[in-house]
Copies of this chain bind each other. A is one copy, B any other.
Amino acid sequence: MSIILGIDPGSHITGFGVLRTQNSQKQRGSFNVEHVSHGVIMLPKNADLATRLAELSLGMEQILKKYKPQHVVIEKIFLGRNPDSAFKLGHARGVIMSLAARDGATVHEYATRVVKKGIAGNGSADKLQVQLMVQRILKLPKIEKIDASDALALALYYAQCVNVNESWDRIKSREVTL
Docked complex Cα distance between A100 and B52 (Å): 12
> Would you give the shortest CB distance from A164 to chain B, in whole angstroms?
22
A24 at interface by CB-CB < 8 Å: no
Q: How many copies does the complex hold?
A: 2
> Would you give the shortest CB distance from A56 to chain B, in whole angstroms?
7
Query: Residues of B contacting A83 with CB < 8 Å?
Result: 79, 83, 87
Query: Residues of B contacting A101 with CB < 8 Å?
Result: 50-51, 53-54
Docked complex Cα distance between A89 and B83 (Å): 13
Report how many residues on chain A are interfacial, defined by Cβ distance under 8 Å. 30
CB <8 Å contact, A57 and B99:
yes
CB <8 Å contact, B98 and A56:
yes
Q: Report A's interface with B, CB cutoff 8 A.
A: 48-51, 53-54, 56-58, 77, 79, 83-84, 86-95, 97-102, 107
A sample of 8 cross-chain residue pairs with beta-carbon separation below 8 angstroms, ordered by A number, consists of A49-B97, A50-B97, A50-B101, A53-B97, A77-B87, A87-B87, A88-B90, A90-B93
Query: Residues of B contacting A95 with CB < 8 Å?
Result: 94-95, 98
CB <8 Å contact, A57 and B102:
yes
CB closest residue in chain B, given A86: B87
Question: Which residue of A50, A86, A95, A99 has the most chain B CB atoms within 10 A of its CB atom?
Answer: A50
Partner of A87, one of B79, B100, B102: B79
Query: Residues of B contacting A92 with CB < 8 Å?
Result: 94
> Would you give the shortest CB distance from A127 to chain B, in whole angstroms?
23
Docked complex Cα distance between A118 and B24 (Å): 66
> Would you give the shortest CB distance from A110 to chain B, in whole angstroms?
14
Docked complex Cα distance between A99 and B57 (Å): 8
> Would you give the shortest CB distance from A52 to chain B, in whole angstroms?
9
